Amino acid sequence: MDSAGFPTVRMRRLRRTAGLRAMARETRVSASQLIAPLFVRKGKNVREEISSLPGVFRTSPDTALREAEEFRKLGIPSVILSGIPERKDEEGTEAWDDEAAVQQTARLLKKEIPDLVVMTDVCLDEYTSHGHCGVIRNGEVDNDATLPLLAKAALSHARAGADVVAPSDMMDGRVAAIRAALDDHRFAERAILAYSAKTASAFYGPFREAADSAPKFGDRRGYQMDAGNSREAMREIELDLQEGADAVMVKPALPCLDTIAKARARFDCPIAAYNVSGEYAMVKAAGRNGWIDEKRVTCEVLTSIVRAGADWILTYHAKEAAAWLADGTFLA
């Protein structure tokens, strides 16, 4: 280390002009890191704005395709599909229906935009009448009874063409169960992005409104992680990698930047961070009230997630951020 200090050293020299600041910036966000979430339901020409997620829509397969075409034009390589079923039941059977909205959309997207990376959220909560992420036995979410159902759902998504299946349920052993099911059915080449470190967070509120998936009794603390834990997150990630996950996720992003950084230091696989619905809703709401500058706050948020160590970001701001990256106004 050099021992020189002020006035020889002046940290402000490299902050003097926009050009110098741009060159000195350590963290760069690229549209190629973004994954855009889509909520899909059956039908034609559906485009319903979600009230707690302004600018985000429930779409039918055809409108989802039009959205995805816009994402591609902006350099966003990937979407992740969450399904809104026609009917809910105790076991969430529509989750593995080959004709359900996620499956129809995945098929259409892969046919029309073959190089789009199609990911699917694998979970039961959108599909169960009780809103939990697994089957209920004796009043509790039964881990082992849920695994074959998740495997069936993931397999159905793979059959529809999903490149990456992303289990978000937090059951123990789901990655191994899904890997085995895919391998047994000649889908050994399809990847798994595990929602590994997912805390029981109040930041998922708007998503649950969008998918009508709030639990009808109790909450998710019996399977999602405690918000105070980061060492436990490392164990979750390690287990998912042992079970065959190709990439792992930390969620939500901003409350877990330390977990992202720790995971980056320990694991060499791609790390995704989910900038979740509540994080987006807060920024949108404050922006609409004129209390913050939405664009600048969003750019800071995404930059901080990459700075912490994330390779991929799932964000409802994907389209806007990609446009700002393209026109040179991102963080400008």
| Catalytic residue list contains 111 | no
> How many residues interact with ligand PBG (rule CB under 6 A)?
10
| String marking each residue 104-123 x if it binds ligand PBG according to CB under 6 A | -----------------x-x
Q: Can you tell me which of 159, 208, 264, 307 binds ligand PBG, judged by CB under 6 A?
A: 208
β-pairing, 247-251 with 117-122? Answer: unpaired
The answer to whether residues 190 and 247 touch, using CB atoms and an 8 Å cutoff, is no
The token pair at 236 is 């979750």
Closer by beta carbon to ligand PBG, 31 or else 123: 123
Is residue 276 close enough to count as binding ligand PBG by CB under 6 A?
yes
Burial profile 24-46: b = 16 or more Cβ within 10 angstroms, e = fewer = eeeeebebebbbbbbbbbbeeeb
| Catalytic residue list contains 319 | no
- Cα 201 to Cα 215: distance, rounded to the nearest angstrom: 13
| String marking each residue 126-155 x if it binds ligand PBG according to CB under 6 A | x-----------------------------
Closer by beta carbon to ligand PBG, 103 or else 168: 168
Tell me the sheet residues that pair with 62: none
Q: Can you tell me which of 91, 94, 97, 125 binds ligand PBG, judged by CB under 6 A?
A: 125
Q: Which amino acid is at 318?
A: A
Is residue 94 close enough to count as binding ligand PBG by CB under 6 A?
no
Is residue 101 close enough to count as binding ligand PBG by CB under 6 A?
no
Tell me the sheet residues that pair with 192: 165
Q: Which amino acid is at 164?
A: V
Residues that bind ligand PBG (CB under 6 A): 121, 123, 125-126, 168, 204, 207-208, 276-277
